[in-house]
Structure 1
Amino acid sequence: MVNYFEILFYLSIFLLSILSYYFCVKNNKSSSKRKGYKLPPGSMGWPYIGETLQLYSQDPNAFFINRQRRYGEIFKTKILGYPCVMLASPEAARFVLVNQANLFRPTYPKSKENLIGQSALFFHQGDYHNHLRKLVQASLNPESIRNQIPHIEELSITALNSWAGGHVVNTYHEMKKFSFEVGILAIFGRLEVHVKEELKKNYSIVDKGYNCFPTNVPGSPYRKALQARKRLGKILSEIIRERKEKKVLEKGLLSCFLNAKEEKGLLVLNEDQIADNIIGVLFAAQDTTASVLTWILKYLHDNPKLLECVKAEQKVIWQSNEQENHGLTWTQTRKMPITNKVVLETLRMASIISFTFREAVADVEYKGYLIPKGWKVMPLFRNIHHNPEFFPDPQKFDPSRFENALKPNTFMPFGSGVHACPGNELAKQEILVMTHHLVTEFRWEVVGSDSGIQYGPFPVPVGGLAARFWKESTTST
């Protein structure tokens, strides 16, 4: 039997899409004529959905690079219902993130804001953002990071020992567990095991739904993620209330939030604001650091001579610490030149943060093109990092390229401007500590695909790298 209601429903959706597309094009043209500027070149794809399906159905890096080759370093598209302008030059990135940052507010797709929390640091600008950023930086100052190194080292050794024995592990997933533990340490200090497990369980569900297509239907990963996000909010509220009541003196981000004083008319953060920012910091701290560590493992495995150089550098430190019976120190992590260049080249090559989201708060002109108010603007860090003009032979893993000064604004692994990652120093320490123990005490064999990690439509890996690990002393040669 023909379902006339269903046919009418889909016909209405189709007609509304055509009408919205028509008015969108008409408004864009009139705005362009009014300003005397034209829109950037590019394709807006299908009505409403734009080029979302193309982005989700292929390697996102290829999606952006192909369009840059076709249209140039500034082009338009439409993703998840939003008209976007993509920028693939250092000058354009600096224009948006630094020079004219006041004209572009930080923004993410609404589906992602809903999962993290709309009060999170990286969705805001102005006084509220500055207030939050100071609190985050206060909890991640050099002295705090120095004090955390022994704990990070303990977590590193525990994680590596759990992988040893020659069984296959998904390194990205395991590195995520490790970076999650470091994130918990930096935020809460000590935390009861059962509370940590509840946080971990619900955060994992949110994490799985974060990069899925945002369909809010029963049983979908995104719907499950929304439900888990509500549970996370309740768990965090209980932790906050308990610490307020007992006046627990733990060092970490939560303590900075709870002890924050009113500043420039900004009230003390409420529980929802604190919860949003804790989850935001966990997102920022976990996936990116785990990705870098996984790529380092792969690149070192694929470059045996480089691995030997890193091992030699780290062995000197390890042997000294064994003799003097103490762990890594802050000073030692600052004296790892070869390892540090490997980290920098990994950040360039993998470009974990492939792009960032901004939204024009007014009509903006850039190089003769109009960026209309309300359009999303995305500086493409990966495209810049892989431009042969700035990095010769960009597909080659070559840490020596960091022995020379780089052209300004061509290397932005942690973003740029007032919204650059405030936790980058902690991430670097975490990476250096884990790498130190990885190369001095363990051997590993990559058994996964040569292509390594596969990326989803947004800058977070969805796959992993399969590998076997052995303790150095028990590995046959």
Structure 2
Amino acid sequence: MDNMGSVVIYILVFVPILILGYLTMVKHKRKSQSSAKLPPGSMGWPYIGETLDLYSQNPNVFFATKQKSYGEIFKTHLLGCPSVMLASPEAAKFVLVSQAHLFKPTYPKSKERLIGPSALFFHQGDYHTSLRKLVQGSLSLDAIRNLVPDIEASAISLLDSWDGGRVIDTFHEMKKLSFDVGILAIFGRLDADIKEELKKNYRIIDKGYNSFPTNIPGTKYYNAVSARKRLSKIVSEIIRERKEKWSVEKDLLGGLVNLKDETRALPGEDIATDNIIGMLFAAQDTTASTLTWILKYLSDNPKLLEAVKAEQNAIYESNEGGKLPLTWSQTRNMPLTHRVVLETMRMATIISFTFREAVTDVEYKGYLIPKGWKVMPLFRNIHHNPEFFREPQKFDPSRFEVAPKPNTFMPFGNGVHSCPGNELAKLEMLIFVHHLVTKFRWKVVGPQNGIQYSPFPVPKNGLPASFWKEPSSKRLGCE
């Protein structure tokens, strides 16, 4: 296509969007003048707003600069949406807990299409309550304790594949583990061929999830939509086979199939597929990112690593030098390692903020949040606030020897939309760390610092590292 054609397309497609965005912003501004005032802040350019400012720099700098200039509540304009950002524990509680009914979950339609409209985190009300109760039950402590042997087997298999000193992309490899654990939690054990088909199509969806939503053959988004259809067929086949064996009603999958969405009368299989994909998305990158950061922080803190090794070696020796498997009770008695997990989640803050949308005009501390505006509690700003966490840029697990103040530590969100899989994620991390530090040494390769966003924060280049299995007589840790 020649340059003139490109210009014409740009004018026809983007100029109307810019005008519409500008008119929407003016409408909200006029409305705000007739009632309470809008929060302070800058809205940037029409439609584009401050999106380029956010994505052209470290988002931590963007949020921190805004808070320093305007305080703990400020307005901006991101991704075509007027938004209010909130950076205090009280505000996060207001939006996510005490007045949660005034704010609904919100996601771009392109992302909702890939996951599925029936997924848990797109809803509120009776359907959400019923579905959340079902998912929470399947991921309760009593339920996940039975997964310890299978999670352990997956962790051992992954670590053994790293042996030999070759350089691996740690984050990419961690995603394999979190995917396997997600499959275990949803389906239990699956045939290897079926699991591979699920994984192959999920990866295509994952690649297209954050791409520009152009439904043109050959684009990442188009490929993701096609993979989503194939994934739905695979899940339907699994459901059909389970029904034939009369086993579908005994697990999470069965509960999803039998759950009804009376508002739209969706088939149970559609509800199951949407929520299976949603759970995989919720579990994979977030857990894999945290695992990667744990390895990074242990590498950066040799004394801490030795202390963690001592704690885990005591368990290892009590299991006859690793001949016996880990038990549930042992995973519940790793106090230092557990604090390392908590401090990693605070320090890295994989979920920097969450999106909500005001369902009506809301007044908070004298400021107006107009109906339809996005509302974003900033978890990262709260986690890194020295008022709540002394020397917040220092990695210090000892800070969790005392429970943090309410609403200051929210790695899994808060309220009715908090992550129901938080205990499963922590169990996966504890099991992995046990086998990592008792059996392997490793060396991080390349840059030791730097963060990349994809979209979650991970160490630069996925933290390339080499791993070697140590003889049982050495087990020294990382270099």
Report the TM-score, using the length of structure 1 for normalisation. Answer: 0.93
CA RMSD of aligned residues (A): 2.5
- Is 1:304 the counterpart of 2:302 in the alignment? yes
> Is 1:214–1:222's contact at 8 Å kept on the other side of the alignment?
yes
Match of 1:31 in 2: 31
Between the aligned partners of 1:15 and 1:42, the Cα distance in structure 2 is: 25
What displacement does 1:233 show? 1.6
Matched, 1:133 2:132: yes
The residue that corresponds to 1:295 in the other structure is 293
CA distance in 1, matches of 2:18, 2:247: 58
Q: Is the 8 A contact 2:22 2:47 kept in 1?
A: no
* Native 8 Å contact 2:208 2:221 kept in 1: yes
- Write the distance in 1 (CA, Å) between the matches of 2:280 and 2:307: 33
Alignment-derived partner of residue 342 in structure 1: 340
Residue 339 of structure 1 deviates from its aligned partner by: 0.6
Corresponding letter in the other structure for 2:105: P
CA distance in 1, matches of 2:447, 2:459: 14
| CA distance in structure 2 between the partners assigned to 1:51 and 1:363 by the alignment | 23
Q: 1:239 Cα deviation (Å)?
A: 1.7
Q: Which residue of 1 aligns with 2:106?
A: 107
Moved more, 199-208 or 6-15: 6-15
What are the within-5 Å matches in structure 2 for residues 447-466 of structure 1? Answer: 447-457=445-455, 463-466=461-464
Q: 60-69 or 384-393: which moved more? A: 60-69
Q: Report the alpha carbon displacement of residue 334 of structure 1 after superposing the two structures with TM.
A: 1.3
Cα-to-partner distance string for 1:260-308 (whole Å, 9 max, x where unaligned):
5x69999786211110000000111111111111100000010000000
Cα distance change, pair 130–158 in 1 and its aligned pair in 2 (3 A): same
Q: Report the alpha carbon displacement of residue 456 of structure 1 after superposing the two structures with TM.
A: 3.5
- State the partner residue of 2:201: 202
Cα deviation for residue 52 of structure 1 reads 2.3
Q: Do the aligned partners of 2:105 and 2:356 also contact (CA within 8 Å) in 1? A: yes
Determine helix, strand or coil for the equivalent of 2:471.
Answer: helix
Match of 1:255 in 2: 254
Return the alpha-carbon distance in structure 1 between the equivalents of residues 265 and 12 of structure 2. Answer: 47
Contact 2:171 2:458 in 1 (8 A): no
The 1-side partners of 2:143 and 2:208 are apart by: 33
2 CA distance for matches of 1:311 and 1:317?
10
1:426-462 per-position Cα deviation (integer Å, ceiling 9, x unaligned) = 1111110001111111111111322254114556789
Residue-pair matches, total? 475
Which one is further off, 338-347 or 136-145? Answer: 136-145
* Offset at residue 33 of structure 1 (A): 2.1
Aligned residue in 1 for 2:437: 439
Instruction: Give the counterpart letter for 1:102 in structure 2.
Output: H
Shift in CA distance, 396/2, structure 1 to aligned 2, threshold 3 Å: closer
> 2: CA distance between counterparts of 1:258 and 1:221?
30
Indicate the larger mover: 268-277 or 198-207. Answer: 268-277
Structure 2 unpaired stretches of 5+: none
Aligned counterpart, 1:20 = 20
Q: Distance in 1 between matches of 2:154 and 2:163?
A: 15
1:28-427 counterparts in 2 under 5 A? Answer: 28-35=28-35, 37-248=36-247, 252-260=251-259, 270-322=268-320, 325-427=323-425
Q: Are the equivalent residues in 2 in contact too, given 1:56–1:456 (CA < 8 A)?
A: no
Question: CA distance change for structure 1 residues 144 and 343 in 2, over 3 Å: closer, same or farther?
Answer: same
Per-residue CA distance 1:119-169 (angstroms, 9 max, x = gap): 100110111001111111121122221111011111111110010111111
Q: For residues 267 and 4 of structure 1, what CA distance do their matches in structure 2 show?
A: 49
Contact 1:188 1:255 in 2 (8 A): no
Give the superposition deviation at 1:7: 5.0
SS at match of 1:322: coil
How far apart are the structure 2 equivalents of 1:185 and 1:343? 22
Q: Cα 1:25–1:259, aligned 2, differ >3 Å: closer, same or farther?
A: closer
Q: Quick one: which amino acid aligns to residue 277 of structure 2? A: I
Of 49-58 and 13-22, deviating more is: 13-22
Residue 359 of structure 1 aligns to a residue whose secondary structure is strand
CA displacement at 1:256 relative to structure 2: 2.6
Check whether the contact 1:199–1:232 (CA below 8 A) recurs between aligned residues: yes
Separation in 2 of the partners of 1:180 and 1:21?
39
CA distances 1:220-259 after superposition (whole Å, capped 9, x unpaired): 3223222222221222222222222332358642133235
Output the CA distance in 2 between the equivalents of 1:334 and 1:81.
45
Q: Decide whether the 8 Å contact of 2:439 with 2:475 is kept in 1.
A: no
What is the rounded CA distance, in whole Å, between the counterparts of 1:255 and 1:410 in structure 2? 37
- TM-score scaled to structure 2, two decimals? 0.92
In 2, Cα distance between the equivalents of 1:230 and 1:268? 16
Deviation at 1:48, TM superposition (A): 1.9
- Per-residue deviation at 1:406? 1.9
Give secondary structure in 2 for the equivalent of 1:310. Answer: helix
Q: Tell me, in whole angstroms, the C-alpha distance in 2 between the residues paired with 1:452 and 1:18.
A: 35
Q: Which segment is superposed worse, 21-30 or 465-474?
A: 21-30
Q: Is the 8 Å Cα contact of residues 190 and 250 (structure 1) preserved in structure 2?
A: no
